[in-house]
Amino acid sequence: MYRPTEILIERGEEDAPVVQRALIKLPELPVRIVEKDWEQKEAWSAGKDPFGAGKRRLFFTRQRARFLEHCPAGTPGLVCCNYLIVSLISNCPMDCSYCFLQEYLANNPALKVFTNSDDLLDEIAQVVDRQPWRQFRIGTGELSDSLALDALVGFSADLVPFFAARKNVLLELKTKSDCIDNLLTLESHGRVVVSWSLTPPAIADTEEYGTASFAKRLRAARRVQQAGYKIGFHFDPLIEYPNWEADYQQTLEQVFTTVDPRGVAWVSFGSLRLTPSLRKVIRQRFPQTPLLSGEQVLCDDGKWRTFQALRVKMYRSLISQLNSLAPTIPVYMCMETAPVWQKVFGRAPGCDKDVARSLTKPNLSHGSPPQ
């Protein structure tokens, strides 16, 4: 389990339920009460790895901005899937070498847990309940792993019943952990998809620090599926390295011999994409990584990706394998251009809503009604 070195609590938030839950789980850690603008005032230590150090400082604070946002993957020129994100946690206890948070949250001195989850639920209810004709997909795995801290903060107990009671929205909990115990006692009514980001063990073991092993993630997926949840898989980032094809094919095979494909809500693929400044950070923090050695080129959206012909080959190879293992599962690509969709699927979606509908419709129409 994640063990921070220190707990910081914004003054006035000491009695928040999430704070109390965490203090019970980590009774021996030093606790500091700080003012709400602590982050701005915190002088940066000139340590060698301030981003890594920030991960080990757990800060409970109120979210004062809006929780609900559109996924940043909706970039002009790329096919979007109309995904919404909410963040109850900002920063991640895990430390994947390719993670965009190294750039996006570079100056954050802590791992933040927001104490006002009730505000988040109110905000979602306002949007979702007022548009009952619309179908939504909302995920919590953008700025952190959705479940890695769940044993500590227990957010799943707030989120799962809330979404289980709504017919027009799917919650996605995206993780690289095996922290699923809290989920097993909750009823999701088919409205919660627990999904795993997967890479072959050769990558998971060397590039995804602090995550559960591939085997553990897969075991957790099976247990969650057996408990009645829909599950999903994200092969994102898809990484090109000398043995990628055999390794990914073996990974896919292992997945679909372990879980029941009928209970899989979706599978996505997304090529490794790195901004120039993220490449710099990776060079500094993970100088030995071979990730930057793939045949990546700078694309129109300012990110480096494996050059198009090669990544199309990768998508085609894996999607063809997936289709042979589990032909009916909805599949999509993340942050890809219409020409790449055209080459891989033989068609590009007419609009964002087409992709969104292909993912929500099969999953919401089969959900059992709330009791």
Partner 1 sequence: MATQNEQGQAQRIAAYAQRKHLSGTTLARWQAWPTTDQAALFSLLQDLQCGENHLKDLLDWFEEIAARDEQTVATILERRELRSAQATPGSRHDKLKAVKTVLRKIRYPRLTRLEENIHQVVKALDLGRTGRLSFPSDFEGDEVTVTLTVRNVHELQNALSQLQQRLDDGRFQRVFDTLDEV
By the criterion CB under 8 A, which residues form the site for partner 1?
242, 283, 287-290, 292-293, 295, 297-300, 307-310, 312-313, 337, 339, 342-343
Nearer to partner 1, 20 or 243 (CB): 243
Minimal distance, residue 279 CB to partner 1, in Å? 9
Nearer to partner 1, 13 or 207 (CB): 207
Neighbouring C-beta atoms of residue 71, cutoff 10 Å: 18
The helices-and-strands tally (H runs, E runs) of the chain is 14, 19
Please state the closest distance from residue 337 (CB atom) to partner 1, in A: 7
In the complex with partner 1, which residue's Cβ is closer, 52 or 242? 242
Angle at 217 between CA 152 and CA 146, to 5 degrees: 40
Q: Which H or E element spans position 136?
A: strand 136-139
Tokens at 122, concatenated = 């109110």
Dist. CA 222–CA 299, nearest whole Å = 37
Check: CB of residue 76 under 8 Å from CB of residue 352: no
Q: Which residue has the tokens 């590009």?
A: 348
The H-or-E segment that residue 208 falls in is strand 208-209
Which of 157/310 has CB closer to partner 1? Answer: 310
Whose tokens are 């009695």? That residue is 15
Cβ at position 356, least distance to partner 1 in Å: 24
Q: Toward partner 1, which CB reaches closer, 176 or 311?
A: 311
CA gap 299, 325 in Å, rounded: 32
CB nearer to partner 1: pick between 222 and 313: 313
CA angle 288, 195, 241 (to 5 degrees): 30
